[in-house]
Structure 1
């Protein structure tokens, strides 16, 4: 576990708060990219093992998404039917992913952290490419509201498995799917994605915590910065070009993915 006294007292704590603020600001501005940015930062800058970074990020994400979920609940911008069907697949998938990490981490046959680090690098690059495609090519017309429950559950399971193992995709992966397969309004799209992400990150994050993969002190410092950052980012959305920010995130992801490989 991290403590301020171990890493250079109050100055390190300040940098952690600033990190939380910057990531929260970007998430508030773009609506996605929290885990895609936080997990590599924890590994590359703060020296976390990949397993500890995943668990810490999931708990951090669950708390930050709780505020957004509550806001969308009050605004009634949540499609609860879609949330339920996605969660029926994603929560079991996420639990299996966390258990898989715990099992593989015990194996002396290979360095799981090293493999996970390279796997995360590949995931970051893939998500950067997906975000770039979305940035350059946006459909003008939706294809109609999703009607197949099995598709929701299947995608939920696969996405949950990925989130449980890597912490990545609780927002980005599912919003890409919902955008391509539903006719939800923008407000319902974001609200549904945030609420589902809250349930998924909460369940997987708490399970990671039972395995000791969460640094609670570090999480508390991150939240001191991220909550104000998210609130400020939400207010700035009308003034900062969305494509500019998403392009910045894409560049970071590509560079990070290459470094981790």
Structure 2
């Protein structure tokens, strides 16, 4: 079983490095559906896994110059306080019931499908933005929208471990349509590091992290995300968009199932 965890960690890590997406969206369903891990432990362990794995990916993307740090800061301004407040809420009121959790999963799946559409039609979106620059958010409005989106992400990620990559990619593609795919991946990974770290700390406080499982996943994921991050800038833009769209489609289907 340990070898299977290591292989799973490598596969997910590589996808995260290439696209910035796939950590919680793939790993949490994998742990619960394939390996039979309880949902609360799967969420907590995956958050710790994501924070460490994405730290390695952020370092690689930073060295390659594919992180938009001003966008990272704006997302964190909203996400980090929201994650702290949500953790306190889970401690005080307990976990969410099954029905609300299912609604959250379907909402995320819908957002992921929107991301796929945005990626596949990015060239047309950019052309439309260039033809209608007054419709694109700029300056203060764009900053406020990014901070607000970060706050929503903070809540979703702390509750379900899902959304840091998938919804983050949606935000970056829709709010910053001219951002190159490699920069989408790098920026998406970078802002998720402090967010998943805070959320993981909260779940450690709640007692829902399996440290042995986490170690096995990390053995595979750290080389995987480094390899994927190194390849992200070298992979042609069109191919990278195709990989990202395919990954997100699989994520959305898994969430619905």
Q: TM-score, normalised by structure 1?
A: 0.79
Aligned to 2:132: none
Query: In structure 1, how many angstroms separate the alpha carbons of the residues matched to 2:172 and 2:139?
Result: 8
Q: Is the 8 A contact 1:51 1:213 kept in 2?
A: yes
- SS of equivalent to 1:140: helix
46-55 or 36-45, which moves further after superposition? 46-55
Q: Is the 8 A contact 1:36 1:124 kept in 2?
A: no
The reply to whether residue 213 of structure 1 matches residue 228 of structure 2 is no
The reply to whether residue 125 of structure 1 matches residue 109 of structure 2 is yes
Structure 1 unmatched ranges of 5 or more? 1-11, 107-111
Query: In structure 1, how many angstroms separate the alpha carbons of the residues matched to 2:195 and 2:214?
Result: 18
Query: In structure 2, how many angstroms separate the alpha carbons of the residues matched to 1:257 and 1:35?
Result: 11
Aligned to 1:3: none
Aligned to 2:147, which of 150, 153, 160? Answer: 153
Q: TM-score, normalised by structure 2?
A: 0.81
Aligned to 1:114: 98
Aligned to 2:171, which of 143, 167, 177? Answer: 177
The reply to whether residue 58 of structure 1 matches residue 58 of structure 2 is no
Q: Aligned pairs, how many?
A: 243
Q: Is the 8 A contact 1:144 1:183 kept in 2?
A: no
Change (3 A) 1:99 1:228: same
How far did residue 244 of structure 1 move?
A: 4.8
Q: How does 1:195-210 map to 2 (within 5 A)?
A: 195-210=190-205
CA RMSD after TM alignment: 2.8
Deviations along 1:26-73, whole A, 9 cap, x unmatched? 222333122110010111112222222111111100001111222344
